[in-house]
Amino acid sequence: MGHKSYTFDFLATVSAQLVTDLEALPVSLLDAGTLTALAQYQNANNARQGVYLLHLDSVPVYLGKADNVADRLGQHLRKLSGRKNLTLTDVGYKALLLDKSMSTAANESVLIAIFRQSHAAMWNGKGFGPKDPGKERDTTRPSFFDRTYPIDDAWLVDFPDDTTTAAHLMDAIKQAVPYTFRFDLKNAGDTVVNLTGVPRTAKALLCATVRALGAGWKGAVLAYGMVLYRTDKQYRFGEELLP
């Protein structure tokens, strides 16, 4: 027969083109300087949406899509800066900025599937991303990403005072660390914490706070972050900090 039906696979065609264009780009170092330049380029061209590809040791490890690529890459840079077992100078990125119509057509799932054909160890779906993992992760097995690159609990916190309140100190830690830190002081925020001789690291400061709060309180260092609650919950996948 001299006729047939034809269906144009729009998503596959667009995705294949985007993959080709991404692969053709050079890898830029992921740091404050390159992200400032990217943000300036976005503003100058009024183009902020797009897709990006993170590299570790020149190997693609994570593909994402964002309404503001420079902002999202900045979030990733902050997260990675507080992790063990990787060096920031080994982390790079590629980014394609897209107009609104192309951004809508760029299907993240299809792009990830294409890259996984040749890069099976991609971090997508393995616990890496910009969102807080949520309280249910406190007592469950850490994700692949968190197991491989756990937080740096020795992160330095610039806190000059030797005497403070638990609420003030916890807020300072939360602002300083580049990973999740959740706490609920209930009615104990005014508890005095003595930091004389305490190293200004996140874990040491949390330990001092738990000691000051006393019985019934518990801190924990988990693969993805730290927590502090009045609780009898068992953190079997983390290090518990007790009074």
Burial of 186 by CB count in 10 Å (0-12 exposed, 13-18 middle, 19+ buried)? exposed
Whose tokens are 């983390």? That residue is 238
- Residue 171, classed as helix, strand or coil, is helix
Q: How confident is the model over 215-240, as a mean pLDDT?
A: 96
Over 90: is that where the pLDDT of 18 sits?
A: no
| pLDDT at residue 117, as a whole number | 84
Q: What is the pLDDT of residues 65-124, one digit of tens each?
A: 899 999 999 999 999 999 999 999 999 999 989 876 665 556 677 788 888 888 888 999
| pLDDT at residue 114, as a whole number | 80
Domain boundaries defined on the chain:
10-116, 135-241
Q: What is the pLDDT of residues 161-220, one digit of tens each?
A: 999 999 999 999 999 999 999 999 999 999 999 999 999 999 999 999 999 999 999 999
- Residue 51, classed as helix, strand or coil, is strand
How far apart (Å, rounded) are the C-alpha atoms in residues 217 and 170? 14
How far apart (Å, rounded) are the C-alpha atoms in residues 221 and 206? 9
Q: How confident is the model over 57-61, as a mean pLDDT?
A: 94
CATH number attached to the domain at 10-116: 3.40.1440
Taking residue 133's Cβ as centre, other Cβ atoms within 10 Å add up to: 18
Q: What is the pLDDT of residues 124-163, one digit of tens each?
A: 999 998 776 766 778 889 999 999 999 999 999 999 999 9
3-state helix, strand, coil in the chain (%, to 5): 40, 20, 40
Give percent of the chain above pLDDT 70.
89
Over 80: is that where the pLDDT of 226 sits?
A: yes
